[in-house]
Structures are given as structure tokens and as C-alpha cells.
Amino acid sequence: MTAITAVGPKRVTIDRQRAIAGIFVMLGVVDFFVFGLFASNGDAVFTFTLNGAAVSVPNLSLPAGPVSEGIGALTVILGLLYAGVRLSKIPQRLVGVAVVLGFVVSFLCWSDAGRIPLPFVSLMQSTMLAAIPLVLGALSGCLCERSGVINIAIEGQLLLGAFAGAVIASSFGSLWLGLFSGSIAGGLLAILLAVFAIRYMVDQIILGVVLNVFASGLTGYLYDQALVPYQNRLNSPNTFVPIKVPVLGDIPIIGPILFDSTIFLYITYAAVALVHIGLFKTRWGLRVRAVGEHPTAADTVGIKVLFTRYRNVVLGGLVAGIGGASLTIGSVGSFGKDISSGQGYIALAAMIFGRWTPLGATGAALLFGFSVACANVLGTIGAPIPSDFLLMLPYVATIIAVAGFVGRSRAPKADGQPYIKS
Amino acid sequence: MTQQDTGPGGTVASDPPGTPEPAEGASSGTAEDARKAGLKGTEVAISLLNAVLEGSSAVVTFLAIVTAVIIGGLLIAFTSPTVLHAWSHLFSAPGSAFSQAWDVAASAYSAMFEGAIVNPHTVSAAFHGGSIAQIFNPLSETAVNATPLILAGLAVALAFRAGMFNIGATGQFIGGAMIAGWIGFAVHLPMIIHVVVAVIGGVVGGSIVGGFVGGLKARTGAHEVIVTIMLNYVMEYLILFLLGLAVFRAPGLPNPVSPPVATNATLPHLAGATLRINAGFLVALAAAFAVAWLLNRTTIGFELRTVGANPNAARAAGMSPERTWVTVMLICGGLAGLAGASVILGTDFALTPQIYGTYGIDAITVALLGRASPGGVVLAALLYGSLDAGSVTMQAQTQIPVDIATVIQALIVLFVAAPPFIREIYHLRGRRGGESGQLLAKGWSS
């Protein structure tokens, strides 16, 4: 492996701290000049109260230009300080979060200046909704890849999960059964992935791509063959109704965003917590990571490498399948051809962006979900930015991340390499 | 596990890039064996039998295709309403269920054949004064469908040989289609020159996208798989955005569609205006020859294969893997861009948001099926082109959705990529003393 690492290109060693500082300064400049100086006259108004909420929160009205300019100036100063001062890990991250938040705020101000008020709560609600399949897909990726199996088949797992969820929920009239079978369907594709990757040692990148094509072809075929003619019986499931968590759901702003959603959001919370704790706080996770980093060593101490990999891949498929089901019975109900529309690949991107950690992946998935939600919501208020660019954002961000400008994103060492017991 | 170790076919699957010419090497070996055996037919027969029993790569490919077709047939049979109805009467009329299943699958495949190769009705019609060109329509359709697959398949195959995964044929295709299309409808040039310039524009467009990937990998080590996947989506949204602009949008149409390319910029038909086959097919074949020449007869090709086999050794020998990556991705991007040009200038004539279809993804499967060799890519693309062309006729005749072709294509590649699997289900014994398992499957970090 050292040999292979040595093969890697001669890296251009840019001081990472300076590079990040440079990006901060650039963002600050964009805040100031683009969002600040080019903001339309008039205030950006954010509404925080949904219709029928118990507690009403006053609207926030910001003068778009000056606010963006202020944020921009502050960001530039932060960036310059960042270049000069060595910070420990936590303040470093805080500065990063602050810069990104500042960018988002000034972007929203610019988008909304002089237009109809921006419904902040519903923007965040659709962010969460968009993030659910991304988070679950990314967790599937984490589970697989931490054990050493590359999972590009997330897209296929989402698609099969969505299909099975809709069809089973519709034909048996039980949403829970739909959720369950969506998960199983994702697991079935994962079994294919596991068997061909682990037993037959097919290259895992190829395998993932092929399985995605397979899932797309299969669901597309069955859709035309069975779901179109029998739309009423097979493809008109109900959808889960939002469940409001008592007390927490009544908190203004936060309540409707975080605690008033379908069961899928709560499953997602649980899944993130479980995968994070499982991978990093338990003996189980230590073993999984050992298998993903150095299978020979893991084998030597008696960990069953192949079994661990099979189990993790299938587990990942089950998780992604739930994410797939959320696309149908969690939101729109009926299944449509290629309903996952590349979200599996965004989930993959989120996992890479989050450096193969569940929490990082969740953060990235939320960010990506936010850009999708912006594309939908800002279109309706007539914001001056084409939605295509917002939809492009997750992918561009990932390219920047893997190019090492945002700190190198490193895969588990044995990721993608079949293990042969010698 | 031993089977994998001895499998010759680990070749394709686990490692497109690493092994320079496993297939060619093996086949020339058997040819030599056969020559040594002289004219003793029995010995030839025995070696042939051995090849079959051991599961040589050709046999595995053949069995993979057969298996995929059988599974596709079962899928067709068991999702057809008439067959399902017959199964519900399984106990009262057991024969009917099976015969119905057979009938449905058989009619689907025969319709597919008629759409892809030849339709007997057009032949008999031609004898009774019908159009002769009509006989060749299925073959023309197959060639038309195969054209972008050959070009994009080469883009993936060439990268494989240099040890890279080019998942980004879609993005490069869009880059090529965008520029070729824009030159086609926005620029006015005399006859032949216009189409040539537009095609070159396509190559350049693809090269820009491909070269970006190569450059990024060379400079920062960004894994090309991730970058290409992400770029595919970036390009998909970019074309959607451009088609919203006045520069690209056909005036007066509600849909995001560009104006049609000028007649001067279209690729000429090869066999009359009724058949869609056009010069793009010849360009694709020429490209295949050019890639074969490049790979086997030039310094660049040698460096490329060396870097693909072992970048360390290449560097020790004074080659620069970084430079090779950039060069290869420039060429690959150009080929995929050419595929885009062939579609926009040959069959579609106007840019649409869905212009890229599934060519970029199919290209990966074509390159794998063709074992990353130019000749293999052409054959694989023709097979896929015939499946695509045939499935359209099949849907028209039997109402079975075209997506079945996608399922069969995916299965073929899945099986071709896993020779041990095919050997297991057909009880082939695996090659004696064959090459050791090719486990060059790489992860993200390589």
C-alpha cells in the first residue's frame, strides 16, 4: 500500500491553512461585492411563522446591501486572521461554520432583497426533507466503505427502495410494510453488491455503476409494464403524515423544522446517532474500521473480515433502502421513473465531503439538501440566480473537496480492495 | 477462493487497466498451439473442447450474454399480464402457463431481432415491389445506435488502459454536443467545412471537460472517479442552464430546445435519406482504428499502457504519469465529445436537456464487455446498439417496455465482469495453471 501511495502524483504542497484562509477571503469578497453591492434596493424579509402556529415570531427585515457588505468585510477579516493565527481544532471549525453561515445569510439577503418575503421555516423544512435520502444514502456509504467495500450503488439502492416502498405500500395498504420492504429492497441490491464484490471480486467501482444501471432498467421496466396499467392498485400509496413531537414541536422556528415531520426524519436522527456511535464508540465499530483499514491485521487478531464486510454492506443497503422509501411514501407518494434522479450520487458526494464519517456526511448532506431546497424555494420568489447553479452546487463543492482545497478527504485504506486470505 | 485465483477472466473484471493484452495473449497462444498440432483435427478439437470446459474469456463472454438473455426472457415472461393470468390457472391447465410464458418471451425476442437485424416482412415486401432500403433499416438503426456507443466506449476503454476510470463520458459527451451544436446552428459556413468544423468543435468541447479531470488528477491527486461523476451532473445542469439562455434557445418554443443545426453541418447520410445511418458511423470506426494504432504503435500508447500497468515502473523509467493522465483524459474527452457531435449532427439535430441519454453510462459497460480493446469495443457497441434498436421495435410490436434492453445490458456486464460466477453456474473447471488472479481492483486512494 505504501508503494501505491508513493505512486500518487507529486502533490503540490499548498499550506492547507493558507488555502482555506484564501477561500474564506474569496467568500468574503463575494459576500461584499456580489451580494452586497449588487443587491436590489429594499429589504430582505424573512418570515419565521407558519400559518396556524401557536406562537408568532416577528418577521425579520434586513437591509440587504449593508448586511451583506458587513458580513463580507467581517469574513475577509476572519480569513486574514485565519491565515496568520494558528488555532486549535474546535475554534478552527467554528470559524469555518461562521464563514459558511455568513455566506448563506448574505446569499439569502441578496436573493430576497426587494422581493416577496422569504418563508424561512418552509425553506428549512424542505431542506430537511431533501436531506433525508441523502443522509441515509451517505450513511449506507459510510457503513460499506468503512469496512472496505466501495458503494457507488447508493443510487440503485435508493431507487429500488423507492420502488418497493411505493408498490408494497400501495398494494397492501400498509405504509409500515412499504417502509419495511423499501429497506429490504435496498438490502437485496446490497447483497448483489456484496456477493459480486467480495466473493467474485468484481471491481467495485464498475460493479456500483452496473448495479445502478440494473436498478434503473429494472424499475423502469416494471414501471412501464406493471405500474402504468395498474396505477390505482400498484402505484398509489398514501404517504406518512407528519408526527409532531409533543412540547419540542411547539418551539418556534426550531419545532416545525426539526420536530414536526414524518417518521423518516426521526429514523434518520436515530440512524445518524447509531452509525456514529456504532462506528466510533463501540468495539464493533473498531473492528469494522480495522477491516476497512488493514484487513490482514484484523484477520490476524481473529476478526472475520469477509463476514464483517458482508454484514456491513447489507446493513448499508437496508439503511439506503429506507432513504429510498422516503422518496415515495415519505413525500410524493407514487413512484416515477428514475425518481432518485442522481441523489444517490449526491449522497456519495456527501460521504466523501464528510470524509467518510457519519457526522461529517450528515453535515454535508444538510448543506446539499439546503442547496436543493434553495433551488425550489428561491425559484418561487423570483430570485436573481438560476436554479441550475444551485443544483450544481453539491457537485462543484465535492470536486473542490476532493481536489484537496478543503483539506484532504481520505478514504479508508483498504477501501475497494478485495481481501484474500493467504 | 481458488477459483478466483486461477481465473483468467479476473482480467476484465477486476482489472481493465492493469493487464495489457490478456485476451490477445491468450488467443494467440491457442492459435499457436493449434498450429503446432498441425492438421490433426482431433487435437484441435480437443484443445477447443478444453477451451470451452475451462471457460476461456470468449466462452465466458458468450455464456454471460446467454445467461443475461435467459434472465431477461424470464423477466419478460413473468411480468406479462397474460402469463400471470395463465399461472393463476396453473393447476387446471399446467401446460398453458409454460407455453404462454415461452410465447411471450419468444415473441419479444423475435421482435427485437426484427428491429435490430432484419425483418422478414420487409424482405418479402421488397420482392413484391416494396422498398429495398427498408430491408436494411434495422441494420441501419443498429449502426446509428452503436455510433455514439463506439466513440464513448473508446473514451472509457482508453482510460482503462491507462489505469483510469472514466465515468465521465456523460459530461464529456455534453461538452462535445454543446459546442458542436452551437457551431451547427449559430455559425454559417460553406458545405463540407461547416460539418468538419462542428465535429472538431465537438472534439474540443469534450477535451476541455476530460482535460480538466486529467489536470486535476495530475496536480492535486483528486480521484478521477469522483471528479468525473460530479462533473457529469455539473454538465447536465450547465446544458439545462444554457438552453434557458437566448443564445441557445430556439425562439418561440416553450421547451428548452436549441434551434436545429444547419443542413451544411449535418453528417451526410450513407445510404439515402430514408435510412438514418450516416457518416458518423464511419467516423466511429475510424476512431477505433486510430485508437488501436495509438495504443499499439505509438510512443504515447506505450507510455499509456505502461502507466496503466504500473505507474511506479513508468516513473522509474523516466515517464511522467501525470503528463500521461492529462494526455489520456484529453484524448478520451475528445472521443466522448465526438460521440456528442455524432448524435447532435447525425441524428438529433437540436440540443435538448436530455441529449446525453444514457450513452455515457452505457459506454462503461461497452468498454468492459469489449475488454477495453478497440475491436472489442466496436463489437460490444454493435451488440448494445442492436439491443437498443431492437427493443424499440419490440415495444412497438409487443408493448414490452424498452427498458428490458437496459436490464439485459447491465446483466451481461455484471456476468462478464465476474467470470468465476459464470464458471460456477456452468460448472466449468477454470483454466489449468492459468494466470494468477488479477486483483488490481483499486480503491479511492490509488
Q: Please say if the pLDDT value at position B385 is more than 90.
A: yes
A17 confidence band (pLDDT: 50, 70, 90): confident
Facing residue for B445 by CB, picked from A348, A415, A421: A415
Question: Which of residues 68 through 97 in chain A touch B, CB cutoff 8 A?
Answer: none
Interface check for A54 against chain B (CB to CB < 8 A): the answer is no
Res A170 pLDDT > 90:
yes
Residues of chain A contacting B322 with CB distance shorter than 8 Å: 9-10
Give pLDDT, residue A295: 93
Mapped onto helix, strand or coil, the DSSP state of residue A259 is coil
Contact yes or no for A207 and B411 at CB 8 A: no
Say yes or no: A204 contacts chain B, CB-CB below 8 A.
yes
Please check whether residue B6 touches A, CB under 8 A: no
Calculate mean pLDDT across residues B419-426: 87
C-alpha cell at B328: 489520456
Task: Tell whether B9 lies on the interface with A, counting CB pairs under 8 A.
Answer: no
**How far B169 CA lies from chain A's nearest CA (Å)?**
13
Is the pLDDT reported for residue A411 higher than 70? yes
Chain B CB contacts of A212 under 8 Å are: 361
**Of A2-6, A181-185, A270-274, B69-73, where does mean pLDDT reach its minimum?**
A2-6
A2 close contact with B: CB closer than 8 A: no
Strand A43-47: give its sheet, edge to edge.
A60-63, A43-47, A118-119
Q: Does B220 touch chain A (CB under 8 A)?
A: yes
Alpha-carbon distances of A112 from A80, B346, B362, rounded to whole Å: 29, 45, 42
Mean per-residue pLDDT of chain B: 84
- Position A83 confidence tier, pLDDT thresholds 50, 70, 90: confident
pLDDT band of A187, cuts 50, 70, 90: very high
SS (H, E, C) chain B: CHHHHHCCCHHHHHCCCCCCCHHHHHHHHHHHHHHHCCCCHHHHHHHHHHHHHHCCHHHHHHHHHHHHHHHHHHHHHHHCHHHHHHHHCCCCCHHHHHHHHHHHHHHHHHHHHHHHCCCHHHHHHHHCCCCCHHHHHHHHHHHHHHHHHHHHHHHHHHHHHCCCCCCCHHHHHHHHHHHHHHHHHHCCCCHHHHHHHHHHHHHHHHHHHHHHHHHHHHHHCCCHHHHHHHHHHHHHHHHHHHCCCCCCCCCCCCCCCCCCCCHHHCCCECCCCCCCCEHHHHHHHHHHHHHHHHHHHCHHHHHHHHHHHCHHHHHHCCCCHHHHHHHHHHHHHHHHHHHHHHHHHHHHCCCCCCCCCCHHHHHHHHHHHCCCCHHHHHHHHHHHHHHHHHHHHHHHHHCCCCHHHHHHHHHHHHHHCCHHHHHHHCCCCCCCCCCCCCCCCCCCCC
Q: What percent of chain B has pLDDT over 70?
A: 86
8 Å CB contact of A388 and B244: yes
The CA distance from B384 to B395, in Å, is 16
Instruction: Give me the pLDDT at residue B14, please.
Output: 41
User: Cβ–Cβ of B403/A210 closer than 8 Å?
Assistant: no
Q: What is residue B341's predicted lDDT score, i.e. its pLDDT?
A: 96
- Per-residue confidence at A164, pLDDT binned at 50, 70, 90? very high
- On chain A, the residues whose CB falls within 8 A of the CB of B5 are 420
Give the torsion through C-alpha atoms of B376, B278, B233, B308, to 10 deg: 30
Beta bridge partners of residue A118, listed in sequence order: A46
Residue pointed to by grid coordinates 451517505: A138
With a cut of 60, say whether residue B80 has pLDDT above it.
yes
Residues 310-329 of B with CB under 8 A from A: 311-312, 315, 321-322, 325
Mean pLDDT of A318-326: 96
**Residue A13 confidence (pLDDT):** 45
Whether residues B79 and A12 touch (CB distance < 8 A) is answered with no
Residue A49 has pLDDT above 80, yes or no: no
What integer is the mean pLDDT of A256-278?
94
Nine cell digits for residue B205: 468541447
DSSP 8-state class, residue A173: -
CA distance to partner chain A, nearest, from residue B446 (Å): 6
Name the residue of chain B whose CA is nearest to A385's CA. B241
CB contact under 8 A, A213 and B226: no
Q: Which residues of A touch B225 (CB under 8 A)?
A: 205
Q: Is the pLDDT of residue B436 over 50?
A: no
Strand pairing class (A43-47; A60-63): antiparallel
Q: Between these two residues, B208 and B99, which has the higher pLDDT value?
A: B208
pLDDT, position B251:
83
Inter-residue contact B170 to B359 (CB < 8 Å): yes
With 0-12 / 13-18 / 19 or more C-beta atoms within 10 angstroms meaning exposed / middle / buried, residue B413 is: buried
pLDDT above 80 for B68:
yes
Q: How confident is the model at residue A406 (pLDDT cuts 50, 70, 90)?
A: low
Residue of A nearest to B237 (CA): A388
Give yes or no for residue A388 having a pLDDT over 60.
Answer: yes
User: How close does chain B come to A342, measured CA to CA in Å?
Assistant: 8
Is a pLDDT exceeding 70 seen at residue B431?
no
Kindly tell me if the per-residue pLDDT of B157 is higher than 90: yes
Maximum mean pLDDT: which of A2-6, A9-13, A207-211:
A207-211
pLDDT (0 to 100) of residue A3:
35
**Closest by Cβ to B406, choosing from A6, A211, A217:** A217
Residue B442 has pLDDT above 70, yes or no: no
The predicted pLDDT at position A88 comes to 78
**Does B93 contact chain A (CB < 8 Å)?**
no
Using a CB-CB cut-off of 8 Å, the residues of chain A touching B400 are 225
Q: Is the pLDDT of residue A53 over 70?
A: no
Option in B221, B227, B439 nearest A418 (CB): B439
pLDDT per position as a tens digit, B220-261: 888 888 899 889 999 999 999 999 888 888 888 888 889 999
Contact A201 B439 (CB under 8 A): yes
Average pLDDT over residues A23-34: 86
The reply to whether A14 touches chain B by the CB within 8 Å rule is no
B368 contacts B280 by C-beta, under 8 angstroms: no
Q: What number is the average pLDDT over the span B94-109?
A: 84
Average of per-residue pLDDT across A283-303? 94
pLDDT of the residue at B9:
37
Q: Is B267 on the interface with A (CB under 8 A)?
A: no
Q: What percent of chain A shows pLDDT beyond 90?
A: 42
Angle formed by the axes of helices A283-293 and A263-281, nearest 10°: 70
Which residue of B lies nearest to A398 if distances are taken between CA atoms?
B230
Mean pLDDT of B12-22: 41
Q: Is B407 on the interface with A (CB under 8 A)?
A: yes
Average per-residue pLDDT in chain A?
86
Residue B361: pLDDT over 90: no
**B312: chain A residues, CB-CB within 8 Å:** 3, 6-7
* pLDDT surpasses 60 at A169: yes
How far is A192 from chain B, CA to nearest CA, in Å? 10
- Where are the alpha helices (H) located in A173-262, listed in sequence order? 175-194, 204-222, 231-234, 254-258
Q: Does B78 touch chain A (CB under 8 A)?
A: no
Determine the residue type at A108: L
Segment 180-199 of chain A within 8 Å of chain B by CB: 196, 199
Round to whole Å and give the CA distance between A12 and B384. Answer: 42
Q: Name the closest residue on chain A to residue B77, using Cα atoms.
A: A225
Chain A residues with CB under 8 Å of B75 CB are 218, 221
pLDDT beyond 90 at A415: no
Q: Which residues of A touch B319 (CB under 8 A)?
A: none
Say if the Cβ atoms of B439 and A417 lie within 8 Å: yes
Cβ-based contacts under 8 A for chains A and B? 213
- Could you tell me if B250 lies within 8 Å of chain A, comparing CB atoms? no
pLDDT for the residue B27:
44
Secondary structure element (H or E) that encloses residue A261, with its range: strand A260-261
Best A200, A228, A294, A348 member to test B by mutation, with max B CBs in 10 Å, is A200
* pLDDT tens per residue, range B38-60: 556 677 777 777 766 666 778 88
Q: Which amino acid is at A84?
A: G
Give the residue-averaged pLDDT of B56-74.
Answer: 89
Nearest to A279 by CA among A343, A357, A345: A357
Say yes or no to pLDDT of B439 above 60: no
Measured between CA atoms, the residue of chain A closest to residue B364 is A206
Identity of the residue in B229, B406, B441 whose CB atom sits nearest the CB atom of A203: B441
Top-confidence range, A76-80, A314-318, B258-262: A314-318
B216–A221 CB contact, under 8 Å:
no
Query: So what's the pLDDT on residue B41?
Result: 67
Q: What band does B71 get if pLDDT is binned at 50, 70 and 90? A: very high
Using alpha carbons, select from A188, A235, A237 the residue that is nearest to residue A214: A188
Average pLDDT over residues B175-185: 95
Mean pLDDT, rounded, for B211-216:
94
Is the CB of A413 less than 8 angstroms away from the CB of B445? Answer: yes
